């Protein structure tokens, strides 16, 4: 089993302008060949998310790079540091393509300069390096590159704005990148301040911590904490309409590498050095403890299945996009941010399986992918990679035989709406790839628990298909 060192293993589809780095990495057993470039990018995201280290993929110029763009867009939207190595792009002629992406005010870095690519990765952004080489040549630049640091004047201004006020600490995924868990816990105690999380910031401070009040946003249950605070110290958090469905009256101090929302003061820097500075000279804030609330649990078969799976599985879990996604996010209770990997801002269907594949190369623990039958059909071909590489990945498919979320959000009440049915049996496909396969009915949660525990212990590629009825999941009050 491969374990990562910096940017390795790389995920790749071979091609004529990448022969040299591809073969070199393959001979050193530092490469995982996937079947498509988009899934190579999703695999790199899974590897980066589970390890909190950058990851790499190789894609040929032209068609290969075009296929990788959905994964690069996902990494750009979610601020995941992955490197795509490709050939020199052409603006005309055979296989010409000049890539350009923008998401949430961030642009994809496309460069021939390894130092510029390293700077993008240090800011938790993806980069495309347009010169065929192995990732090794970039690693010295990564070790020398740091994200921006706060100035003394900025630190003092934050300290002044917190003085004598009720502070809420809003924690996002950027604090995971900054490895700021210990500093956050200590600062919350010192300031007598509650902690709330964005959906992707969950687990940075364990959810059993007494000062962690839960999740804010469209699907959150701790939005009242932001409404009652005098000042919100947002650390590594995106401030979009999904995090702040209603703009609070409190002053907002945003400490993040990527501002994409309202803020009264913005520090474009790594949150960790600011936290260390505040701990050395903490302001005197107003102590407070807001009411603790818990989310309502929906009475749905799919929710009970997902909750059973999350309770049974010990290792990392990847989530696809679909009706099961909000149910899993509701059922999860995280003690670390890499226990649950999902896309919060891009949400591509078919993400879970390749992300689990990538995560499995960088953790000694088996990985569980939770998907619907639509998500499974989008990227089931990567089961071939899982079997070929003998990766300890289990796939849980919630099969309701339809594109459930699409049907629901389109407001289609027809018992059999046109273009939404999924008759293909995922179990038949899984058997063709040679994985162990289990079929379960919706109410056999005790058996599901046992099968998942056995699969995690046996570490063999496994697919579990649970048959479910057509159901509607709760939707947030505002679309997003």
Q: Report whether pLDDT(3) > 70.
A: no
Q: Which domain holds residue 231?
A: 152-280
Residues 163, 145: Cα–Cα separation, whole Å: 33
Tell whether 292 is covered by a domain. Answer: no
Whether residue 216 sits in one domain with residue 129:
no
Neighbours of 27 (CB within 10 A): 9
Q: Cβ(104)–Cβ(260) under 8 Å?
A: yes
C-alpha 71/C-alpha 151 separation (Å) is: 35
Indicate whether 227 and 248 sit together in one domain.
yes
Same domain as 459, residue 320? yes
Answer yes or no: is 5 within a domain: no
* 224, two tokens: 């009242």
CA 154/CA 137 separation, integer angstroms? 35
pLDDT in tens, 33-49: 999 999 999 999 999 99
pLDDT tens for 300-334 read 999 999 999 999 999 999 999 999 999 999 999 99
Length of the chain: 480
Please state the rounded mean pLDDT for residues 132-154: 87
Q: Identify whether residues 256 and 315 lie together within a single domain.
A: no
Q: Whole-angstrom Cα distance, residue 305 to residue 397?
A: 10
Q: What local confidence, expressed as pLDDT, does residue 478 receive?
A: 47
* 133 and 43 housed in the same domain: yes
Clarify whether residues 179 and 63 are in a common domain.
Answer: no
Taking 80 as the threshold, does the pLDDT of residue 226 lie above it? yes
Please identify, among 120, 144, 168, the residue that sits at the C-terminal boundary of a domain.
Answer: 144
Residues 316 and 446 in one domain: yes
Give the pair of three-digit tokens for residue 258.
Answer: 């990527």
In this structure, what DSSP letter does residue 421 have? B
**Residue 190: φ, ψ to 5°:** -70, -35
With respect to residue 30, please indicate whether it lies within any of the assigned structural domains.
yes
156 lies in the same domain as 135: no
Task: Report the alpha-carbon distance of residue 204 to residue 339 in Å, rounded.
Answer: 10
> What would the pLDDT profile of 169-194 be if each residue is shown by its tens digit?
999 999 999 999 999 999 999 999 99
CA-CA-CA-CA torsion sign (178, 184, 190, 193): positive
> pLDDT by residue (tens digit) across 5-63?
468 899 999 988 899 999 999 999 999 999 999 999 999 999 999 999 999 999 999 99
Sheet holding 393-399, edge to edge: 340-341, 317-319, 367-372, 393-399, 462-467, 436-440
CATH of the domain at 274: 3.40.50.1220
User: CATH number of the domain that 409 lies in?
Assistant: 3.40.50.970
Q: Pseudo-torsion of CA 298, 301, 303, 306, nearest 10°? A: 170
Count of the separate structural domains present in the chain: 3
75 located within any domain: yes
62: left (phi over 0), alpha (psi -120 to 50) or beta: left
Q: Are residues 414 and 307 in the same domain?
A: yes
Is the residue at 398 inside a domain? yes
Tokens 């300890």 — which residue?
392
Q: What is the pLDDT of residues 374-430, one digit of tens each?
A: 999 999 999 999 999 999 999 999 999 888 888 887 776 666 777 888 899 999 999
Q: Which of 122, 144, 166 is the last residue of a domain?
A: 144
Residues 123 and 175 reside in one and the same domain: no
Q: Is the pLDDT of residue 480 over 70?
A: no
Rounded to an integer, what distance in angstroms lies between the CA atom of residue 156 and that of residue 379? 50
């Amino acid at each position: 089993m491969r374990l990562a060192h910096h940017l390795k293993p790389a995920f790749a589809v071979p091609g004529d302008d990448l022969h040299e780095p591809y073969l070199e990495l393959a001979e050193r057993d530092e490469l995982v060949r996937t079947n498509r470039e988009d899934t190579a990018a999703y695999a790199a995201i899974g590897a980066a998310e589970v390890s909190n280290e950058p990851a790499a993929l190789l894609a040929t110029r032209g068609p290969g790079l075009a296929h990788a763009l959905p994964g690069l867009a996902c990494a750009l939207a979610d601020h995941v540091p992955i490197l795509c190595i490709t050939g020199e792009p052409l603006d005309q002629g055979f296989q010409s393509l000049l890539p350009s992406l923008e998401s949430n005010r961030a642009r994809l870095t496309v460069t021939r300069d390894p130092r510029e690519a390293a700077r993008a990765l240090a800011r938790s952004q993806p980069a495309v390096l347009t010169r065929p080489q192995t990732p090794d040549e970039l690693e010295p630049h990564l070790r020398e590159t740091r994200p921006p640091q706060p100035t003394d004047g900025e630190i003092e201004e934050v300290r002044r704005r917190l003085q004598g006020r009720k502070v809420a600490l809003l924690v996002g995924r950027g604090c995971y990148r900054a490895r700021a868990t210990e500093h956050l816990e200590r600062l919350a105690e010192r300031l007598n301040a509650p902690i709330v999380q964005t959906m992707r910031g969950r687990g940075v401070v364990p959810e059993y911590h007494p000062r962690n009040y839960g999740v804010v946003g469209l699907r959150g249950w701790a939005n009242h904490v932001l409404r009652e605070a005098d000042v919100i110290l947002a650390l590594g958090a995106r401030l979009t309409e999904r995090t702040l469905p209603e703009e609070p009256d409190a002053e907002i101090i945003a400490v993040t590498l990527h501002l994409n929302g309202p803020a009264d003061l913005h520090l474009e820097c790594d949150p960790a050095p600011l936290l260390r500075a505040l701990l050395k000279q903490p302001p005197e804030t107003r102590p407070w403890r807001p009411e603790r609330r818990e989310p309502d649990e929906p009475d749905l078969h799919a929710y009970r299945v997902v909750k059973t799976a999350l309770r049974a599985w010990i290792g990392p879990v990847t989530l696809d996009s679909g009706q099961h996604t909000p149910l899993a996010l509701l059922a999860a209770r995280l003690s670390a941010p890499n226990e649950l990997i999902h896309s919060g801002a891009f949400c591509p269907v078919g993400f879970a399986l390749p992300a689990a594949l990538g995560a499995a190369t960088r953790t000694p623990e088996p990985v569980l992918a939770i998907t619907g039958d639509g998500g499974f059909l989008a990227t089931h071909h990567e089961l071939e990679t899982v079997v070929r590489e003998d990766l300890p990945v289990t796939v849980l498919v919630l099969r309701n035989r339809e594109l459930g979320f699409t049907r629901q959000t389109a407001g289609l009440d027809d018992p059999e709406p046109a273009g939404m049915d999924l008759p293909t049996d995922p179990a038949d496909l899984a058997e063709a790839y040679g994985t162990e396969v289990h079929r379960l009915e919706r109410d056999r949660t005790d058996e599901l628990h046992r099968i998942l525990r056995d699969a995690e212990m046996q570490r063999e590629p496994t697919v579990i298909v649970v048959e479910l009825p057509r159901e509607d999941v709760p939707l947030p009050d505002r679309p997003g």
